[in-house]
Structure 1
């Protein structure tokens, strides 16, 4: 029996959630692309990636293109699984809130 999806505390911060969501749409992305698309500073993205790497959500690969150093990041299989569970839990919370509010008046008297 599998556990019910739960919120993942490692991606509750909006920046971390944005990074894993972005990476879920690709196989791998270079640091500059993630930084530019999410409009983050180098230091903010670097700190975020370090934290996500520690929790096993992302893998960081370093190398060179010609003589220039490059960093690539990807969402791990575990990161994809945990993101899916987090999003499912958020959807369940939102659906529950909508259901509870359904019997309340929709207009101010």
Structure 2
């Protein structure tokens, strides 16, 4: 149990990343430099529109960078975590681990 003067680790959770779908997107991007939109869509099992909406929120928070281009004549979109996104993800995961570690044993 923590002392009364220590804040519970839940206060360190990032509300932008904490949503399960956005957490899944950020986790998928954390392991790569950059990923094609379709690969992320398939990895987190979302529709194009649902992924686009969540990526927009992550981009607005400064956590994800979006790059558009072409492969041949076909348009493509690539996603990557920004430096701020990587830091926020690491801090969020650390807070989750602190919550788990502070739980009393069975």
The bucket for the TM-score relative to the shorter chain is 0.7 to 0.9
Task: Tell me which residue corresponds to 2:85.
Answer: 79
The alpha-carbon deviation at position 54 of structure 1 amounts to 0.2
SS at match of 2:12: coil
5+ long unaligned stretches in structure 1 = none
Alignment of 1:12-91 (within 5 A): 12-91=18-97
Q: Indicate the structure (1 or 2) with the bigger Cα radius of gyration.
A: 1
1:16-52 deviation line (CA, Å, top 9, x unaligned): 0000000000000011111111111011100010000
What TM-score do the two structures reach when normalised by structure 1? 0.84
Query: After TM superposition, which residue ranges in structure 1, 4 or more long, deviate above 6 angstroms?
Result: none
RMSD value, Cα: 1.5
For 1:20 and 1:86, the matched residues in 2 are separated by 11
What TM-score do the two structures reach when normalised by structure 2? 0.86
The alpha-carbon deviation at position 93 of structure 1 amounts to 0.8
Number of matched residues?
A: 97
The alpha-carbon deviation at position 66 of structure 1 amounts to 1.1
SS at match of 1:63: strand
